[in-house]
Structure 1
């Protein structure tokens, strides 16, 4: 009889562990320090380790309507627009692409790739840092 109880207890513990893993994977980060770490991790490596509230505003169907969707989606996933929005909230836009260039450098893009990205952003209405948020990011989010 104790063998049966031991087996039930082990199964119960296994279920609890699986449930905790599922819960922790679907929970959105709320701790500001953890959010900052996740953003930095995505900027540099491009790998998503934890979900952020920011992820929920992405609309893939809307994004796919743009012929440059692959690049724009990559920028969204790598937190380019998030970081640009952060920087613009701290500084006033000087109507250049200076902040965008800084972020692309942080993302470790080569000069050639940076120029390609900037051209795509300009083509989609992002003629300066604030216009990238207003015109380009808006093509990827919402309904």
Structure 2
């Protein structure tokens, strides 16, 4: 390998390390288990197809209560920090973090 190839390989390795660190930090920041997010997204999708979004987090809170989440306020704050300011935005903005 020449110097240019070595540098390119090193940049790829650094990028991979950074991505892994970002993923680790994201997972550590989750206010509830990942499986509960899947339940939330699926239930929200069903509810929004039926009722539409009233631009509040009311359906999100209702679903979190139904799946027996204890720190609902913490989850709602976390969702807002990740772009989920209302029920439809939870699906549009937050769900993509889990794909």
Relative to the length of structure 2, the TM-score reads 0.67
Structure-2 residue corresponding to 1:75: 36
Identify the structure with the greater helix proportion. Answer: 2
The 2-side partners of 1:103 and 1:109 are apart by 9
Secondary structure of the 1:64 match is helix
Structure-2 residue corresponding to 1:131: 89
Classify 1:137/1:103 alpha carbon distance in 2 versus 1 (closer, same or farther; 3 Å): same
Structure 1 unaligned regions, length at least 5? 1-60
Question: 1:32-82 CA distances to partner (integer Å, 9 max, x unpaired)?
Answer: xxxxxxxxxxxxxxxxxxxxxxxxxxxxx8x936352463624334x1111
Relative to the length of structure 1, the TM-score reads 0.48
Structure 2 unaligned regions, length at least 5? 1-19
Over the aligned positions, Cα root-mean-square deviation in angstroms equals 2.3
Is this contact kept in 1: 2:31–2:78, CA < 8 A? no
The 1-side partners of 2:68 and 2:88 are apart by 22
The 2-side partners of 1:139 and 1:81 are apart by 12
The 1-side partners of 2:48 and 2:33 are apart by 19
How many residue pairs get matched?
Answer: 77
